[in-house]
Amino acid sequence: MTGLAISVRRPGELVVGEAPIEEPGPGAVLMRVVRGGICGSDIHILHGSNPFAVYPRIIGHEFAGVVEAVGEGVEGLAAGDPVVADPVVACGHCRPCRIGRPNVCANLQVFGVHRDGGFRSHVTLPAGNAVRVPESLSFAAAAMAEPFSIAANVLANTGCGPDDTVLVYGAGTVGLTVMLVARMKGARVIVADIDRSRLDRAAALGAERVIHSPSEPVPEAVAGEGEGLGPSLVIDGAGIPSLLSEAVRVAAPAGRIGLLGFSAEPSALVQQAVVAKELAIHGSRLNARLIRQVVEWLAAGRLDAEGLVTQTFPAGEAHAAFDLLENRPEQTLKVQLAFDA
């Protein structure tokens, strides 16, 4: 038995085809996928610029759906349960896992990257990676739990709280999810970007201040923030290596910097500035079992998930969805695929 699947056969070749539907083994569940979100990393796999992907690969790590069957020994989940996938598969035994950091497991695997992902009609996954969601939560919102978990992770690592003034570089999906979670935590949030339309969206979603960096240099714009010391927390949601030196320059004494980009390009860094202000620089990857927390936030209405979804395409029209993202990005934010259309 087969179902629809979207894969990258080799760099540059996106295929809408079929894949076998597997019965769940012991400790696993079979999910019927309803909604999946396209991430920048899916586009990187398509372009051959993701260093971890092996081809051919069924992509997709932001996906939600319904449990169709459970394997032997599975407890707490049953056929018919709505669920969202936590795409992080960890060994549970290495030191990072033992200290609560499964997102950097020494044997890490991620659905859609290291193993076939959720852009298919049905997917089997470990029961521990299927997070039950309330029936009141739409599948569109549930599929946003993974992007919000990225924001939750970096803000947990950097200790965001109500006393913070947060500067977020980038008003794309990553930057806006960071902004929304930081505001939920009570922080004042400033968003900087080169695109005015994205800044307009950030302002509409609640950013206290937006900065169009080509016309208003960020260091000058934020100099008066935080009692004149600058932002106490800076998050690079744009993934641009050159921003690190500026982040160090604008951050307040005792400030923190969170990095989310995966570029292999070197960043200029003045050690004197880091030490003089005793800055803490945090890398953040994926999420450390924060999907359940995000689902609680979404279910309680504390985050606007569906407000970030700008377009939805039937899964069979994946080529059109990717074309929109790549060629008209100013018209999009989060594009999702509907597998029940």
In degrees, to the nearest 5, what angle opens at C-alpha 117 toward C-alphas 111 and 120?
160
CATH of the domain at 207: 3.40.50.720
Cβ contacts of 249-252, under 8 Å, gap ≥ 24: 249/219, 249/273, 250/167, 250/218, 250/219, 250/222, 250/223, 251/277, 251/279, 252/165, 252/226, 252/277
Indicate the helix (H) or strand (E) that contains 97.
helix 95-98
pLDDT level of residue 316 (50, 70, 90 thresholds)? very high
- If asked whether residues 133 and 186 sit together in one domain, one would say no
Question: Residue 271 contacts by C-beta under 8 Å, 6 or more apart in sequence?
Answer: none
How many domains are there within the chain?
2
Compute CA 307 distance to the chain's CA centroid, rounded to the nearest angstrom: 15
- If asked whether residues 268 and 155 sit together in one domain, one would say yes
β 334-338/309-314 pair status: parallel
Distance (Å, rounded) from C-alpha 110 to C-alpha 115? 6
Distance (Å, rounded) from C-alpha 245 to C-alpha 62? 32
The answer to the question of residue 18 being in a domain is: yes
Question: Residue 316 contacts by C-beta under 8 Å, 6 or more apart in sequence?
Answer: 4, 16, 341
The answer to the question of residue 69 being in a domain is: yes
Distance (Å, rounded) from C-alpha 23 to C-alpha 15? 24
pLDDT digits over 8-62, tens only? 999 999 999 999 999 999 999 999 999 999 999 999 999 999 989 999 999 999 9
- If asked whether residues 218 and 256 sit together in one domain, one would say yes
- If asked whether residues 176 and 257 sit together in one domain, one would say yes
Q: Crossing angle, helix 145-158 and helix 173-184, to 10 degrees?
A: 60
Residue 40 token pair: 């920048």
The burial class, CB within 10 Å (0-12 / 13-18 / 19+), for 281 is middle
The answer to the question of residue 300 being in a domain is: no
Predicted confidence (pLDDT) at residue 200 exceeds the cutoff of 80 = yes
Question: In the chain, what percentage of residues exceed pLDDT 90?
Answer: 96
pLDDT digits over 150-162, tens only? 999 999 999 999 9
Give the pLDDT score at 290. Answer: 98
Residue 149 three-state SS:
helix
Predicted confidence (pLDDT) at residue 341 exceeds the cutoff of 80 = no
The answer to the question of residue 218 being in a domain is: yes
CATH of the domain at 322: 3.90.180.10
Residue 341 token pair: 């259309």
pLDDT digits over 238-284, tens only? 999 999 999 999 999 999 999 998 888 999 888 999 999 999 999 99
Give the pLDDT score at 263. Answer: 85
Distance (Å, rounded) from C-alpha 14 to C-alpha 112? 14
Q: Mean of the per-residue pLDDT values for the chain?
A: 97
Question: In the chain, what percentage of residues exceed pLDDT 70?
Answer: 100
Give the pLDDT score at 262. Answer: 85
For the chain, where are the E strands, in sequence order? Answer: 2-10, 13-20, 28-37, 57-58, 62-70, 82-85, 88-89, 109-110, 122-126, 130-132, 165-169, 188-193, 209-212, 233-236, 256-259, 280-283, 309-314, 334-338
Q: What is the mean pLDDT of the segment spanning 210-239?
A: 97
- If asked whether residues 274 and 315 sit together in one domain, one would say no
Can you give the residue range of the structural domain that contains 59?
2-144+305-338
